[in-house]
Amino acid sequence: MFAVDFKVRDYECDMQGIVNNAVYFNYLEHARHEFLHSKGIDFAALARDGVNLVVVRSEMDYKGSLTSGDLFQVTVVYEQISKLRFGFRQQVVRSRDAAVLLEALVIGTAVNARGRPFVPEALTLLSGA
């Protein structure tokens, strides 16, 4: 399982003193990009080549809240969903007590230069990794 370490910054918190729900999207996306990079897949290079990875669905179950200064990890597990879709199962895990504060499934596809969906070979190879 791939994981990226984070620390909550003050400006990510709302008036209640907890991380704003929308900020979790940023955490998850950053971890996915780092995961792809660790597998030799350059997100920016794909885009330059006319291949755009796009999110088609996000499911997030909030189970607890992070607060300013919390250390945490975002995990990433890749899975092939169908011939045209792939998914990333992700968790936000607080470091001090290993509490799972969020579980997510982010489903995507790739769109080629003609706008047709497909899954690049580099991603299909991740299923066996």
pLDDT tens digits for range 28-40: 999 999 999 999 9
Domain assignment of residue 90, given as a range: 2-128
Domain total in the chain:
1
Distance CA 111, CA 40 (A): 19
Q: How confident is the model at residue 44 (pLDDT cuts 50, 70, 90)?
A: confident
Mean pLDDT of the chain: 94
Could you tell me if 35 and 88 are in contact, meaning their C-beta atoms sit under 8 angstroms apart? yes
14 is catalytic: yes
Counted residue by residue, the chain has a size of: 129
pLDDT tens digits for range 47-90: 898 999 999 999 999 999 999 999 999 999 999 999 999 999 99
pLDDT the model gives residue 73: 98
Catalytic residue among 14, 42, 49, 61: 14
The CATH number of the domain where 94 resides is what?
3.10.129.10
pLDDT at 129 over 70: no
Report pTM: 0.93
Give the closest residue to 80 by CA, choosing from 129, 35, 25, 124.
124
Region of poorest pLDDT, from 78-82, 118-122, 123-127: 123-127
Distance CA 90, CA 1 (A): 10
